[in-house]
Amino acid sequence: MVCRLQPALVEKRFKEKRLRVSAIIAAYNEEKTIAEVLGVLTHNPLIDEVILVSDGSTDATVDIARSRGVTTIALRENQGKGYAMRVGVDYAQHEILFFVDGDMFNLTDEHIASLLVPVLRDECDMNIGVRNRGPIRNFFHLEMKVGPVLSGIRVMRREVWDTVPVRYQERFKIEAALNFFCSHAGYRQRQTVIYDLGHLIKESKRGLFPGLSARWEMSREVFLLHFDLYVFATWRPEVDQEPLRAAEYDLFE
């Protein structure tokens, strides 16, 4: 259910005593939508800092982010979404992490409140934003658990992120891994349906065949990951916390 709190009421209620929020965007060639996303995030009263990590973008993504005055980290080579998110976490100053996709449009303060407020109220430790697919598909996806809940729009306490072993903090593994390790560690998670939020699909951003190829690679990686986590259980927390591999980047603050 979408929270219907008015932005002004939310600001008054949480301004004085609340955990601080870092919004993190892992972006790859999002020049078409990133200005709109950053405009909403930087003016929202619940968000205390915005960090954009460009994952080797070759378009104007970095220039747009710098013009908006947000902390901008430009990876010189594409490292994958999970890696870019990890870099953003390392630079984030605050306890609450709000991951946002850079390819969205029509993002509103109401969307942001519906995701942030349950975590700020300590009603859950991770809140996953799921775009509305209609009542039937929402029911089967969220209530009947048909298919994994994969979404790049999610809010969590930092300790939830820290439950994920480093080898799962890469590429497209990260979202399914967060779901698994959050539950395994006993943290509370929920899903919030987000209405009227648009996004550009991969085929629209990259072209038909490159987009289909990227979608196939993502599906394949997530499918194999579920066997790894739920069937073979090859992960071992005591040996999986190797340091993040180094990558070259430019930092603009």
| Alpha-carbon gap, residue 132 to 169, rounded angstroms | 27
Domain with residue 107: its CATH number is 3.90.550.10
Q: For residue 89, tell me if it sits in a domain.
A: yes
Which range of residues forms the domain containing residue 152?
7-200
| Alpha-carbon gap, residue 92 to 21, rounded angstroms | 9
| Alpha-carbon gap, residue 65 to 39, rounded angstroms | 10
Q: For residue 231, tell me if it sits in a domain.
A: no
Q: For residue 105, tell me if it sits in a domain.
A: yes
Digitized pLDDT (tens) for each residue of the chain, 253 residues in all: 445 556 555 555 555 577 999 999 999 999 999 999 999 999 999 999 999 999 999 999 999 999 999 999 999 999 999 999 999 999 999 999 999 999 999 999 999 999 999 999 999 999 999 887 776 655 545 554 545 566 889 999 999 999 999 888 887 889 989 999 999 999 999 999 999 887 776 555 666 666 566 666 767 776 777 667 766 667 766 555 667 778 899 999 8
Q: For residue 216, tell me if it sits in a domain.
A: no
Q: For residue 243, tell me if it sits in a domain.
A: no
Q: What is the pLDDT of residues 56-96, one digit of tens each?
A: 999 999 999 999 999 999 999 999 999 999 999 999 999 99
Q: For residue 173, tell me if it sits in a domain.
A: yes
Residue 122 falls in which region: left (phi positive, over 0), alpha (psi -120 to 50) or beta: left
Q: For residue 253, tell me if it sits in a domain.
A: no
Q: Give the global pTM.
A: 0.83
**How many domains in the chain?**
1
Q: For residue 79, tell me if it sits in a domain.
A: yes
What's the confidence (pLDDT) of residue 169? 86
| Alpha-carbon gap, residue 79 to 81, rounded angstroms | 7
